[in-house]
Amino acid sequence: MGFLDNTSITVDAVLTKKGRELLARGQNEFNITKFALADDEIDYNLWDVTHPNGSSYYGAVIENMPLLESFVDENQVMRYKLITLNKNTTKMPKINIGATSPVPLNAGTTAIISPTTDNSTLDDQVGYRFTLHNSDAATLEVQVAGTEPDTGQTVNFTAPLDSTKSVTINAKSAKLIGKSLNAAITTNLTIQGLGTGVVSNISVETALNSSTN
């Protein structure tokens, strides 16, 4: 979703392929139960505490920045989701993925992703949501389970130029297993803390299986 401009409250919504399918069936299956907010368009470096007109104008440039129209490329939209923290929070939580990017994989090789969250213990207690954007590159499995049950949810994303199958699990740590490929694939692994809501991303690169040449 995206606000069309700064003067109205009209909301522009674009449905994914799955959303259009549910709506078209007409069986009351299209029910929005959750939503997320993001500030992808905002550059907070533009907050100007030296503005000559005073504090009321510190954010004038930010408030007049153009906003993005809605689109459904999961690699480009909702990358910086807004989160809710305790009132007395003094430091922002930050996910430490503990792995190099991109994560290198070959057919049958594995990589263990064991994130931790700096400045908070919530995620370490309940776990993380791991989303592999293209499951053609690797298998995503639970390595260490968290307190939130693994949903085994599969979400289909439709990007403007491509369609990729995304797989999501809940866990404290996850295991990636490279698949046998006729062509190398580079994709993203999104990790979201289930306690804090903070999000981080890492690339995954599965190499061409040389035995297929």
More confident residue, 203 or 70: 203
How far apart (Å, rounded) are the C-alpha atoms in residues 210 and 151? 34
Q: What is the dihedral of CA 100, 102, 103, 108, to 10 degrees?
A: -160
Could you state, in order of their start, the residue ranges of all structural domains in the chain? 2-63, 94-212
Task: Note the pLDDT of residue 28.
Answer: 84
Peptide bond into 93 cis (omega under 30): no
| DSSP code of residue 174 | E
pLDDT tens for 71-125 read 766 656 776 777 777 777 788 888 999 888 899 999 999 999 999 999 888 888 8
Residues contacting residue 139 through CB under 8 Å, at least 6 positions apart: 176, 177, 179
pTM summary value: 0.64
pLDDT tens for 15-71 read 877 788 888 888 888 888 777 778 878 888 899 999 999 999 999 998 888 877 777
Task: Note the pLDDT of residue 149.
Answer: 53
* Domain over 94-212 is classified CATH 2.60.40.1080: yes
pLDDT tens for 113-163 read 999 999 888 888 889 999 998 899 999 999 998 876 554 443 433 333 334
